[in-house]
Structure 1
Amino acid sequence: MSYSGKSEKLIPLTTNNPVQARILHLTDTHLHANPDYVMMGRNTRLSLLALLEHIHSESEKPDIVLVTGDLTHDETSKGYRDLRAILETLKAPVYVLPGNHDIPKLMHRHMNKGQVGTQRQILIHNWQIVMLDSTIRQSDNGRLDDSQLQFLQHCLGQYPERYTVICLHHPPLPTGSPWLDTMQLENSTQFLNIIDKQPGVRAVLWGHIHQEFSAQLNNIQLLSTPSTFSQFKPLSSTYAVDKKRNAGYRWLELSDNGELETRVAWLPG
C-alpha cells in the first residue's frame, strides 16, 4: 500500500490499566483453507487453535494482538476468513500485516472486519505501533519501499512525544542462520539508520524466521517471535526444523514511562 502523505484521524485505544498496555505478538500462522494441511510436521490450524486455548488459560489477557505476516499459506479468501474467525476468539483488537506468503489485497479485503484490522498506525497510552509492509511480490525476500519508509518517518514525526514499536515481517539484521539471512530485509541499513536517530523507538518486532531472537541497537530491542506452529533450527546453515521447540508467542508490556518488558512463551508438549 502506498503512502499518500495524508494523516488519518487516530483514536487512542484505552485499557483497564491506565499506565500499562499488554501486547500479544503472534506470527507465521500459515493457515490453509484445507483444515488437514500439515507443514513442517504439524497441522498449522490445530496448532494455532491449541496455542490460543493455552493463551486463554493464562491469567494475562492481551489489550491488543499483533500478527506479523505469513497469515495464510495458500493465499485463499477462505484461509483469511478462517483465520479472522479464529483470531476473534481472543476478544481483543487484532492488527495484522502481510508476509511473503500473503496477498496484501486479499488480506485487506478479508482481515478488516469485526475485531480484526489492517490499520498501519495504532495509538495506545503513551505509545504508537507502526505496521510496515516489507513484502516483495513473488519473492521470499523483504524490502521497505520508499512509501513504507516515508510512512514510518511520518509516524515518527507526527508523534515525537510517544514511544514507538515498529512491526514488519522480515528481519532487519542477520540472525545467525545463513540460509535465512539471505531473506532478510534488503535495505536493512537504511531502515536501521532511520530508527537509530529516533530516541522514542523502543522495539522492532518481526517473524519470518520461525524462532526466538533478540538483539539490541542502543535503546531499541530487536525481537523475533516464534511461529504459532513449528520452528526452524537456530544457527543452522541449511533448512532444518527445530524438533525441540513447539509453537510459541510473545508478550510485551508497554509502560507509559517508556519501559518495555517482554518474554516468549511456548505451548507445552
Structure 2
Amino acid sequence: MTDEFTIVHLSDTHFKEGGALHHDVTDTVAALESVLGHLEPVRRVDLVACTGDLSDDGSVDSYRRLRAMVEPWAAERGAAVAYCLGNHDQTPGFRQAMTDAGLEPGEHPVYSSTVVDGMRVIVLDTHVHGAGYGAIGEEQLEWLRRELATPSERGTVLMLHHPPVPAETPLLRALELQHPEALIDVLRGSDVRVVLGGHYHAAIVDQVAGIPVVLAPAITNQSEQFSPPEFEGAVAGSGAAFVRVHEQGVRVLPFTVPRIGDGVRVYRFDTQQMQRIIEAAGPARHT
C-alpha cells in the first residue's frame, strides 16, 4: 500500500454497437484509444473509474467493446475497474456484458461497494430508464447510509454519473440529478474523500459538504460551456482526468488529447430543440 491512491477517471464514452460513430461524427473507440495512449507512460494505477454513459445505445456489444479496451489496460497497471450507469445506459445490456465475463456484481448489480487497497469504492446508480435526468431512490440512499456508517481504512471514493452539483448550460440544468441535497446530507461527515461524476461533458471541480467533486472531460465530445443561453452545443474533443488522493487532500489533473478534427461542432440545439428534449427526457415527463 502506498500513501497515494491514483485514479484514471473516464466518463461518457458513449460506445455503440459495431463501433458506430456517435452523432455520425465521433469515433468513440479511437477517442478512447487516444486517451489511454496518452496515459501510456503511467505504469501504476489503483482504479480506473468509468462514470457512466458507457454506452450510447445500451447494446451488449458496446459494453463488451468498452471492457475489452479498458480492462487489459488497467490490468497491466494493477488497477481495479469500476463502472456506473448513466442516462444513456441500459441495465439489461450492461448486466449481460458483466455476466458473460463472470463479473456479475452481487445483490445490487448497478450500485455496489468494494475495497481496493484499503480504499472503499462505492458505485451509485443515478440513471432513470428512458430519461435524461438522474435520481437516487430512498432505498439506495439508505443502503449508502448504512455503508458509510463504518469508515473504511483509507476512506471512500464515490462514483456516480449525474453529479450533485449544478450544470452550467440550460439543457443540462434541466437534466441534473434530482434532489441532490438528499445525497449531500448522507455524505456530510462521512469518510468520502472524493466524488467522481460525468454527464456534463466538461472538466469541472466543485465541492459538496467539504468533499471535492470531480467531473472528467468526456471521451466523446466537449460541451460548450460559454455558449449564448439560447443555444446548447458540443464540439469534438476527448479527455479524461487523473486523480491523486493522498493524505493532504485530492489533486486533479484533467486533460484533453489533441486529435484531428477537434473543435468541429458536433451539435448545436436552439431553444425549441432544447425544449423538445427537456419535454421528452426531463423530470416533468416521468413524474
Q: What band does the TM-score fall into relative to the shorter chain?
A: 0.7 to 0.9
1:19 is matched with 3
**Aligned mate of 1:96, from 83, 88, 91:** 83
1:42 is matched with 26
**Aligned mate of 1:122, from 114, 130, 134:** 114
Q: 1:80 to 1:116 in 2, by over 3 A?
A: same
User: For the aligned residues, what is the CA RMSD?
Assistant: 2.3
**Aligned mate of 2:207, from 213, 216, 221:** 216
Shift of 1:49: 1.8
The alignment status of 1:164 with 2:156, answered yes or no, reads: yes
CA contact (8 A) 1:84 1:116 kept: no
Q: 1:93 to 1:124 in 2, by over 3 A?
A: closer
CA contact (8 A) 1:93 1:115 kept: no
Q: 1:59 to 1:125 in 2, by over 3 A?
A: closer
Gaps of 5+ in 1: 1-16
2:134 is matched with 142
Q: 1:141 to 1:226 in 2, by over 3 A?
A: same
- Whichever structure has more helix as a proportion of its residues is 2
- Could you tell me the TM-score, scaled by structure 1's length? 0.84
Shift of 1:65: 0.6
2:253 is matched with 263
CA contact (8 A) 2:80 2:116 kept: no
Give the number of equivalent residue pairs: 248
Shift of 1:109: 2.3
Take 1:151 and 1:98, find their aligned partners in 2: how far apart are those partners?
17
**Counterparts of 1:1-269 in structure 2 under 5 Å?**
17-39=1-23, 41-56=25-40, 58-90=41-73, 91=75, 92-111=79-98, 113=101, 120-159=112-151, 162-198=154-190, 200-236=191-227, 237=229, 238-242=231-235, 246-255=237-246, 257=247, 259-269=249-259
Shift of 1:232: 0.8
- Could you tell me the TM-score, scaled by structure 2's length? 0.79
